[in-house]
Amino acid sequence: MSGDAEASAWGQAREMNAVESLMWRAEADPRLRSTITSLELLDTTPEWERFLAAHDWATRLVPRFRQRVVEPALGMGTPSWVVDPHFDLHYHVRRIQLPAGGDWSATLELAEQLAMTPFDRSRSPWEATLIEGLPDGASAYLLKLHHATTDGLGAVQLLGMLHSTTREPTPGKPQPRAPAAEHTTPTDLLGRQVSRDAAGAPALALRNAAAALRTLQRPNQTLGRAVRFGASLRRVLADPDTEGSPLLRDRSLSWRFTTLDIPFAQLRAASKTVGGSLNDAFVAALLGGFRRYHEELGSPIDSMPIAIPISVRKDDDAEGGNQFAGARLVAPVGIVDPQERMRAIGALVKRARSEPAVAALGLVAPALSRLPAPIISQLAGSLTKANDLQASNVPGIRDDRFIAGARIVRAYGFGPLPGCATMITLVSHGDLCCVGVNVDPAAVTDGPRFERCLHEGFDEVLALAPEARPPASNGKPKPKAAAKPKATSRATTTTKTKAKAPTT
């Protein structure tokens, strides 16, 4: 293909929206770092030069990966994406060899360290690492992004576009040129935004006047909508009416990862026993794990504050970026029956989605994002630090995908801990639900017990499905077994991997 081929439309917005600005600026408090991490298990180890070439191509296809964030002078405008004149692929793409005998546990320990390391904010906020040395020639691919770049669904859009559908190279793929470097200073950026806002002020005033006239023509209807929206806004912005867990109260700067593999069809079948969704079953299983953890440690609870993202992305929205709203719920931890728990979760989520003010943060964020960073951190932290759990369910890629000749066997997502105790993310991949668990070890002080309790929480939900079987694995995935996932006991055995070497 010609070097004049067009770049992708993914992530083309040059200015952050208000929510992205909040996430970027809230990091004045290091506990509010918004790093999202994708960790994929590969069936073999890609050839390094081909792996590098794939990333060079990706940064030309998606210019966002050659852009850094520039803050307007005095922090008075909107952070914007500018092509980095000093972009260096060598900085962003790395390779690390595990020590001899390295396994999935060692991979997770390394992933934790990489994810906790803050970004260099003078560069494009992403890093890719090939982790070599897993048993039987396998490897892992870690992609680390700042949340201001995209949300979970945007990340799946990105990976779906960049990952290949074949193990063999595709020499005919489009080859866009690298974007031209931009030398934009904070003062330049502020000047442009002030000039643009001033030029648009008359048109904005006319639109506001027209809206006011329409309001005067239908005062009763407008007043009714305003009252309903105001009531909804109070419900959405209010703190959940429950106390946080006494066991999960402490917070630190540290993250700890673990993974679970759950059969997709079985979890979905369990949800259908109550007419619910996969997400209802997922959250109900998590709450079952939290209930067991608290009971075993002699501190049972009936409820706890949690948060879930609700996508507000529309079909005609641009790809990439962040299009979500957060719903904070009083989670029914104390409900023992898993079916009753699923019904309760389904009702809570349905009610949250139907709130007129569900995207309230997007309404107040423009004003908040212009405040000094320390104040932003304080306000943003007040919305997240009380959460004992943030849970996210991301529809992933169901067919086979490859990176530089290596097949992706598992795909886990690890969300950040913006002051909350735990972040647990489900990504559907192939026939599995790959669950990435991120916990603050100051809050979850008995990690092995917590992991076992989560498994048992999924066990009781999966047992509702016809021909129920236990979860597929104990979070220590085996490359060969993933070709056709079968439920096995948690006491899995090592499986040899036989895979063709990638072609170049």
| Burial environment of residue 442 by CB neighbours within 10 A (0 to 12, 13 to 18, 19 or more) | middle
121/499 Cα distance (integer angstroms) = 39
Task: Return the beta strands (E) in 84-228 as ranges.
Answer: 93-97, 126-132, 139-146
112/221 Cα distance (integer angstroms) = 53
Catalytic annotation present for 147 = yes
Task: Give 303-336 as a 3 state SS string.
Answer: CEEEEEEEECCCCCCCCCECCEEEEEEEECCCCC
Closest CA to 417 of 125, 34, 27: 34
Please report the sign of the dihedral spanned by the C-alpha atoms of residue 239, residue 307, residue 247, residue 146. negative
The dihedral over CA atoms of 41, 47, 52, 54, expressed in degrees to the nearest 10, equals: -70
Using DSSP's 3-state secondary structure scheme, residue 181 falls into: coil
283/260 Cα distance (integer angstroms) = 14
Given 3-state DSSP classes, what are the helix, strand and coil percentages for the chain, each rounded to the nearest 5? 40, 20, 40
Q: In whole angstroms, what separates CA 349 from the centre of its chain?
A: 19
Give me the DSSP letters along 421-459: SEEEEEEEETTEEEEEEEE-TTT---HHHHHHHHHHHHH
Contacts of 119 (CB under 8 A, 6+ apart): 35, 125, 126, 127, 146
443/253 Cα distance (integer angstroms) = 11
**Which residues share a beta bridge with 284?**
none
Q: Which of 55, 92, 146, 147 is catalytic?
A: 147
Contacts of 480 (CB under 8 A, 6+ apart): 43, 495, 496, 497, 498
CB-CB neighbours of 424 under 10 Å: 26
Contacts of 218 (CB under 8 A, 6+ apart): none
Angle at 384 between CA 383 and CA 388, to 5 degrees: 130
- The residues carrying an active-site annotation are 147
